[in-house]
């Protein structure tokens, strides 16, 4: 009698003293890694930050607004919202409307998402990148807006102008601080 031991990934473990043949897996059979790959491939794109802001705007009461923020919590969302509400963050961009061409491509095609672009927002803040000239900084910002969908670009402009609560009712700095456990300096409470 031969005892067959399996590795965690489902392949047959090598047994000393026994001749080993390369194990071939049938393509219709999936191991854990294959199942995870299929699950990852089937995942939808995370919601756009403008959609999250709209959900907060449409939520009827504070607990529902908090739930929306907590359900969509991510590093990128925290970065963007910190830039929107933290008074110590100064944007080195002109206030008001930004002259850019709106990306008319349908959502999900031919545009970037703010979730990924958030890591570049430091370029537009005081203390971020002092080597950039104002002209270059503004050009990069316009390029970023033109790459985003129309809704996300509009949301980012409201973030930079620190007017999120004007467009999305109930979306306040206090709500964000409570949702993420931040103190008055928009830092994690100790």
User: What pTM value is reported for the model?
Assistant: 0.72
How do residues 8-58 score in pLDDT, each as one tens digit? 777 777 655 555 554 555 554 555 665 555 555 554 567 888 899 999 999
154, 114 contact by CB (below 8 A): no
User: What pLDDT is attached to residue 170?
Assistant: 87
In sequence order, the 6+-apart residues with CB closer than 8 A to the CB of 83 are 89, 91, 121, 125, 159, 160
Residue 172 located in a structural domain: yes
**Regions of the chain short of the pLDDT cut 70:** 1-2, 14-45, 108, 110
59, 65 contact by CB (below 8 A): yes
Q: Give the total number of structural domains in the chain.
A: 1
Residue 81 located in a structural domain: yes
Residue 137 located in a structural domain: yes
Residue 185 located in a structural domain: no
Residue 86 lies in domain? 49-180
Residue 5 located in a structural domain: no
């Amino acid at each position: 009698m031969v005892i067959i031991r399996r590795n965690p990934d489902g392949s047959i473990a090598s047994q000393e003293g026994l001749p080993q043949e390369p194990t071939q897996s049938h393509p219709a059979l999936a191991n854990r890694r294959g199942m995870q790959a299929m699950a990852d491939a089937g995942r939808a794109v995370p919601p756009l930050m403008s959609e999250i802001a709209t959900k907060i705007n449409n939520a009827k009461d504070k607990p529902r607004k908090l739930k929306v923020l907590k359900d969509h919590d991510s590093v990128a969302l925290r970065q963007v919202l910190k830039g929107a509400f933290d008074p110590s963050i100064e944007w080195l961009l002109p206030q008001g409307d930004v002259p850019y061409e709106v990306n008319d491509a349908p959502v999900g095609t031919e545009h970037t998402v703010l979730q990924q672009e958030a890591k570049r927002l430091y370029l537009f803040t005081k203390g971020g990148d002092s080597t950039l000239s104002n002209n270059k900084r503004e050009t990069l910002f316009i390029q970023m807006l033109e790459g985003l969908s129309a809704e996300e670009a509009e949301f980012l402009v409201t973030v930079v102008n620190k007017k999120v609560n004007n467009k999305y009712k109930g979306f306040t700095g206090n709500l964000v601080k409570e949702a993420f456990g931040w103190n008055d300096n928009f830092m994690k409470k100790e």
